[in-house]
Structure 1
Amino acid sequence: MPRFPIRQVAVLGAGVMGAQIAAHLVNVRVPVVLFDLPAKEGPKSGIALGAIEKLKKLKPAPLGLAAEAGRIRAANYEDDLALLGQCDLVIEAIAERMDWKRDLYARIADHVAPHAILASNTSGLSINALAQALPEALRPRFCGVHFFNPPRYMALLELIPTAGTQPEVLDALESFATTFLGKSVLRARDTPNFIANRVGVAGMLATIKEAETYGLTYDVVDDLTGKKLGRASSGTFRTADVVGLDTLAHVIKTLQDNLADDPFHPSYATPEVVAGLIAQGALGQKSGAGFYKKDGKAILRLDPAQASYVPAGGKADELVARILKKAPAERLKLLRESKNPQAQFLWALLRDGFHYAAVHLGTIAETARDVDFALRWGFGHQQGPFELWQQAGWTQVAAWVAADIEAGLALSKAPLPAWVTSGPVAERGGVHQPEGSWSPSAGAFVPPRSLPVYDRQAFPETVAGSGFLPALQSGTEVFKNEELRVWTLDGEVLIASITAKLHLISPTVTAGLMQAVEIAEREFQGLVIWSPDEMFSAGANLEALMPVFMKHGSKGIDPEEKKLQDLMLRLRYAQVPVVAAIRGIALGGGCELLVHCARRVAAMESYIGLVEVGVGLLPGAGGLTYIARRAAERALAVHGSVTPGTDLLPFLKTGFEAAAMAKVGTSALESRELGYLLDSDLIVPHKDELLFVASQQVRALASAGYRPPVAQPFPVAGRSTLATIRGQLANLRDGGMISAHDQHIATLIAEVLCGGDVDPGSLVTEAYLLTLERQRFCKLLDHPKTQERIMGMLSTGKPVRN
């Protein structure tokens, strides 16, 4: 397929979704023009400018860096339509009104470039009906897209073709959305609310109905339908508040207006409680009240019987919580047979989901895989309905659902489709098989779509039953120990994957990585440190060192810390490139590990930082030495040389504050600003492409004749800068901004960064600063307040402020 370059994108509509789509395009470095109506007062593009300004304040933050809001170009439909001709992709994202969208198309059609793709962002309007408002020449390049809110964080993007959309347009857009936007793409049919909202909102309506049937409060339901059920932690009613009850009602109305013949149509009635809240203006989080509201720090829930808010905090019964931890087959059996109302509610909810998905699969999606992925990526479920059904025993669960339908307990009298109980699915025990997932329209198990972009995903997300081996059971294993697997996919690039809980770095991991570097130098082009989940490493394993500390005190920790420092230097000066592939969390020792690699490749949603002060320590595995060295390198780059008169504080300031205040980059972009990623490092929008890109970086560096950096002394700030920092810390302590122990830790951090009591501009080695790190690290270990912080973190998982 020829490459379709998208050099600039236009977003039409600066509302909540349009502005945030524009923000995400900026995050991934795609130039974007944001259009809206001309303002009646002030600048002509004032509406778009106002929306751009609001992006800086929204939570969760739509921008990886708030300062980059200015990269979005504001425009209006009156003066700037000629800019559309410079855009390769135009995304219309105005309000969900068919008439408004058609009117806009009539205005813009003549200005869209002859090669450009036009896409309507909609959560459920008919794409074929929208296409009728376009000129014939533009219709083959038109389709629907459905971004989920918030666009930066939600993985799912539904792609909806019309009857006349060119296949190559869909392929190009799917490829762009995957690699450049980091989206997980599903192609949906042009049916009301498409796949995710169709099944997900029907599930929310079922939840509201079944909660009323079993007399459960909203907080209890949210606890039951959150993490305990393997779904988003916000549960059902809190999710509705976040989405907005008016938005929910709009999606429900689409079902009501367009699905009169649907056997589940009676269940699409707007719940009375939802209608009542909307009538009062209680639209959820954006209005300050919905199913919940905040009263100071207290969270209140609506009590419909009293028509008032009461304290929230209800939880699932412990019996039901234990059932939910059972294997799928036993879990569903116990829920169905239990007399506990909460268990009965959960069985009813799951049964309704199985029933609805089976009845509608043939009309809303190509395969069962699409439905499962839609619920995972769009609604935060750990698994989709078909996956759970299959894992629990296809035939048995089908019999239970059929029995409830017959008994009148289900939401609809519609029988299960014939393919559920006879034919290939029933014979094979489920819809997901190694050769593909069941497609009622094809009457066969259909494999995932094959596009060149997916060759970049060594381990894409799969559905249970598909037969794909997990990453850590794949490839050729070179060696492993209790907490590290070292393996290869191609015999050229070695991969090291930490398998310990939270990927904590223990002496076992340290020894394993040392061995991995040695093997890579002998037999491979380089080494990638990568793991297939949302955790690079949460830091050093303090608990593993507790027996040593209890027996020998800090003197026993010093040699262990030295081993960890030696590992960092071994990575930095390896004779082959070592590339850190960061996905998710990289804190403390995990951050120190990645900064010592030759290069870093980070997923956009990576959270990187030195957080040791939270346990009363300072970074002791080379993190402070790295900050000091980088400050010297930056000063040399600016000034050409560093003399005793050169002020290094401006180059140290960001790194010192980050370490002393435990700042964590809330995106890969922010981590770059903090100095944990360099300009030469790569940020990858799609997490499943991370291993591919990191491996390519190893090959490229090796092919270019990679040589490690040459170890050499570098200048430090010395005693004068140290005195300045000490004075500032004293002011913060006296002003009540930090505790005395915070001041003590920050002072020790500053001592390391400035090189101790030496003249400004003194040349030091990494070994010298690493020794300072260890000394200060061990000094803090002996401090009672640090010991309080460590024990508090180990026992509660939360930092102690003392």
Structure 2
Amino acid sequence: MSRFQVKKVAVLGAGVMGAQIAAHLVNVKVPVVLFDLPAKEGPKSGIVTKAIDGLKKLKPSPLGVADDAALIQAANYEEHMALLGECDLVIEAIAERMDWKLDLYKKIAPFVAPHAIVASNTSGLSITKLSEALPQAIKPRFCGIHFFNPPRYMYLVELIATPATQPHILDDLEAFVTTGLGKGVVRAKDTPNFIANRVGIAGMLATMREVEKFGLTYDVVDDLTGKKLGRASSGTFRTADVVGLDTMAHVIKTLQDNLNADTDPFYGSFGTPDVLKKLLDMGNLGQKTKAGFYKKAGRDVLRFDAARGDYVPGGEKADEVYGRMLKKPAGERLKLLRDSQGPQGQFLWAILRNSFHYAAVHLASIAETARDVDFAMRWGFGMKQGPFELWQEAGWLQVAQWIQEDIDAGKALSKAPLPDWVFKGPVAEAGGVHTPEGSWNPAAKKFEPRRLLPVHRRQYFPENVLGSGAQAWETAGRTLHEDANIRLWTLDEEVLIASIKTKMHAISPELCEGLQQAVETAEKQFQGLVVWSGDEPFSVGADLQALLPAFIAVGVVAVEDAEAFMQQTMLRLRHASVPVVSAIRGMALGGGCELAVYSQRRVVAVESYIGLVEVGVGLVPGAGGLTYIARRAAEAMEKSTHKDLLPFLTEGFTAAAMAKVGTSALESRKLGYLLDSDVIVPNKDELLYVAVAEAKAMANSGWRAPLKRQFPVAGRSGKATIQGQLVNMRDGGFISAYDFHIASLIANVVCGGDVDPGTLVTEEYLMTLERQAFCELVQHPKTQERILGMLGTGKPVRN
């Protein structure tokens, strides 16, 4: 087993990609040195310093916590080359100029550590040609590493070997990128634009051609090619705006410069679209210049009209009939689109046919297996299914016949026939390219299983492709109990797993019964309990839709009983005699946040969103959230020499009163929803592995549940201080009168009510205050208006 460790990374180039790669490295606590050219004026590392400062202003933020920008070490090629010797990985991310990259490699080569991996973050240049500038000693340790933009959020990383790259180098790098950076790795062949951009940009170009052919507008196309088609919600043209039209033009040019009609039979469709040329000439590069295919004018979104050369009102939607077609099973859906007489249906069939055709013709040259293509398109372009998965689900041979008929009729983008393996041999017999034995490798003419490195054993239920036959977590292991709300099961007979089954994993009284049963079962038969629900979200909180009928039928008594039972459940989790670990991925909001903080430890995917958001529906946290804030403040004060409780309480109060949500696990730690002892996991697919290991480690170390104890509260004087600040916010127009009322109730709870400062209270006492506040609000017309508004539109009502 390899002992390669990445203790420090050098990133060469402080441009958009280089700086954001450095930001993601500090997000996952990897020390990083960011290099660029020496500045001509001022401090020599001024270029890098400016880039680091710029990271704090970008949206979406490349940093989990803005202050962590200070952890990036600034360097320049004149003064700091010796620092390269301290780095285990060197990532070159300068501009896409072959000559500039080769020149830089010659400069850094003498300083690179003898064990270090050197990788180029290029989106399409030949990795083999880049390696030619390196000395013989570095060539075996050189490869391509292609991050997708923005690096923090995009899951895909492509790794590309040269003929000289030693196999273990890619294995070591894949292990680091998977576990250390939390990414999904696909290995691509050294061909122009690799896999995702090769297929994806060809698809976007083909889409633009079909748009012109069928005379559709950009907003209609985005409506058709977004979520309705199982792709990123931004569709085609909004995605282009986000990526940057100059970036897109560069990738297109890479295809144009490195391919020809002999090497790619689709080359004729790679011309830069006229509309793209027009927008580039206008300087409208997309989101970065606030104008591209779309442009915001106040609250209105305008779309570009190529014929007029100007912007016109946008917002046009596709015909509803095609939305209904796209909800049909795959085979029926494709047949309906192919037989459609309307331009929108014909357009959809054309772009799907083109994607199948292109992927099949190029599979052998760009990837090892069909799995790599499907993963690349899912992870790099936000598709729910890759092209081969959809084709296979719809009926392999039938769809293949339709594609070939269109090719023969001259309707396709190219006359190139589908490869022979599509119609005969193992693929045809299996009904597709993905089977339980593996995915089709046309070069080896066989189905190949996924590469299994030691790092992959940390992923109990990794993402898989349709047809792989991989066991789903919903049926894995041994089930001890299952109902409509929860499944209690185990993988190893040592740790019990509780998986929530309700819609959006909402918390109901019935679910609380299941959680209490989980604790009881774990205490009797297991070392620990892990709450893990397999997919996102962790939990969006209390089930308001279930709560309202009970309130209408029985009155506030039903609400109080339900809240009391939820509180009892949280305390049962906190004081269980075995470790209770919440494994959090996605949103943990409201009651989901309370479930997390009352667990004895949290293992959290780095891109998770945690917060008490009840104010948005006119309520206060009612299942122990405010009690947690008060207790944590008292515990923090106890560890400090400062004996005024209010400063320790302020941040927690503000987070609850303003419904602040940590937009990463790192930010949630700053807000107090995660503790220093909690574990943040970069890769979402390793969450369960780490959580189970954490529960076992806690049990094996003799862990004991916290004893019930009293703690001090800020009392009436603390409440008065907070309310004074709230009055200023209300009178200044920052919050409404009703927001003031809700925040005052929150202040009353976290300060312990009308008691002297320093009064010792119990969790149960504060939970009683919580219930009283919750029940008072749930009867108020303004809260009911907020709840109904949220249930109806999904958006908070401000009243």
TM-score computed with the length of structure 2 as normaliser: 0.99
User: Within 5 A, what are the aligned runs for 1:182-581?
Assistant: 182-260=182-260, 261=262, 262-581=264-583
User: Within 5 A, what are the aligned runs for 1:662-681?
Assistant: 662-681=659-678
- AA aligned to 1:193 is N
- Percent identity reads 70
> Which residue is equivalent to 2:774?
777
> Which residue is equivalent to 2:688?
691
User: Residues of 2 paired with 1:396 and 1:483: CA distance?
Assistant: 40
- AA aligned to 1:303 is D
CA drift at 1:705: 1.5
Contact preservation (8 Å) 1:241, 1:292: yes
Q: Deviations over 1:236-271 (max 9, x none)?
A: 111111111111111111111111121011011111
- AA aligned to 1:171 is D
User: Residues of 2 paired with 1:17 and 1:405: CA distance?
Assistant: 40
1:748 aligns with 2:745: yes
User: Residues of 2 paired with 1:312 and 1:796: CA distance?
Assistant: 22
User: Residues of 2 paired with 1:390 and 1:222: CA distance?
Assistant: 25
User: Within 5 A, what are the aligned runs for 1:1-80?
Assistant: 1-80=1-80
1:647 aligns with 2:644: yes
SS in 2 for 1:620: coil
Give the stretch that moved more between structures: 26-35 or 254-263: 254-263
CA drift at 1:437: 0.2
- AA aligned to 2:701 is A
CA drift at 1:509: 0.7
User: Residues of 2 paired with 1:621 and 1:580: CA distance?
Assistant: 16
Contact preservation (8 Å) 1:240, 1:284: yes
Within the candidate set 619, 622, 634, 1:620 is matched to 622
- AA aligned to 2:45 is S
- AA aligned to 1:662 is A
TM-score computed with the length of structure 1 as normaliser: 0.99
User: Residues of 2 paired with 1:532 and 1:206: CA distance?
Assistant: 37
SS in 2 for 1:301: strand
SS in 1 for 2:73: strand
SS in 1 for 2:538: strand
- AA aligned to 1:737 is F
User: Residues of 2 paired with 1:769 and 1:279: CA distance?
Assistant: 64
Q: Deviations over 1:210-240 (max 9, x none)?
A: 1111110000001100000000011011111
Within the candidate set 585, 595, 598, 1:596 is matched to 598
SS in 2 for 1:459: coil
User: Residues of 1 paired with 2:293 and 2:574: CA distance?
Assistant: 53
User: Residues of 1 paired with 2:343 and 2:508: CA distance?
Assistant: 46
In structure 1, runs of 5+ residues without a counterpart are: 641-645
Within the candidate set 775, 782, 787, 2:784 is matched to 787
1:766 aligns with 2:768: no
CA drift at 1:3: 1.7
User: Residues of 2 paired with 1:287 and 1:789: CA distance?
Assistant: 37
User: Residues of 2 paired with 1:690 and 1:317: CA distance?
Assistant: 42
CA drift at 1:275: 1.2
> Which residue is equivalent to 1:170?
170
- AA aligned to 1:178 is T
Contact preservation (8 Å) 1:482, 1:508: no
CA drift at 1:552: 2.2
Contact preservation (8 Å) 1:371, 1:384: yes
CA drift at 1:790: 1.0
- AA aligned to 2:31 is P
Within the candidate set 699, 702, 712, 1:702 is matched to 699
Contact preservation (8 Å) 1:616, 1:745: yes
SS in 1 for 2:650: helix
CA drift at 1:307: 0.9
SS in 2 for 1:119: strand
- AA aligned to 1:197 is N
CA drift at 1:175: 0.1
Contact preservation (8 Å) 1:628, 1:652: yes
CA drift at 1:340: 1.3
Q: Deviations over 1:129-185 (max 9, x none)?
A: 000000011100100000000000000000000101011111110000000000100
SS in 1 for 2:107: helix
- AA aligned to 1:203 is G
Give the stretch that moved more between structures: 497-506 or 790-799: 790-799
SS in 1 for 2:137: coil
Contact preservation (8 Å) 1:223, 1:316: yes
SS in 2 for 1:144: strand
Q: Deviations over 1:658-695 (max 9, x none)?
A: 00000000000000000000000000000000000000
CA drift at 1:490: 1.1
SS in 1 for 2:466: coil
User: Residues of 1 paired with 2:207 and 2:475: CA distance?
Assistant: 38
- AA aligned to 2:356 is F
Within the candidate set 773, 795, 799, 2:796 is matched to 799
User: Residues of 2 paired with 1:486 and 1:310: CA distance?
Assistant: 56
CA drift at 1:9: 0.4
User: Residues of 2 paired with 1:552 and 1:86: CA distance?
Assistant: 68
- AA aligned to 2:735 is I
User: Residues of 2 paired with 1:766 and 1:593: CA distance?
Assistant: 15
User: Residues of 2 paired with 1:613 and 1:325: CA distance?
Assistant: 36
Q: Deviations over 1:373-399 (max 9, x none)?
A: 000000000000000000000000000
SS in 2 for 1:326: coil
> Which residue is equivalent to 1:643?
none
Aligned length: 797
SS in 2 for 1:347: helix
User: Residues of 1 paired with 2:581 and 2:788: CA distance?
Assistant: 34
Runs of 4+ in 1 over 6 A off after TM superposition: none
**What's the Cα RMSD here?**
0.7
CA drift at 1:469: 2.2
User: Residues of 2 paired with 1:535 and 1:509: CA distance?
Assistant: 16
Q: Deviations over 1:443-465 (max 9, x none)?
A: 00000001000000000000000
CA drift at 1:715: 0.4
CA drift at 1:639: 2.6
CA drift at 1:548: 1.4
> Which residue is equivalent to 2:121?
121
CA drift at 1:411: 0.3
User: Residues of 1 paired with 2:633 and 2:475: CA distance?
Assistant: 42
- AA aligned to 2:10 is A
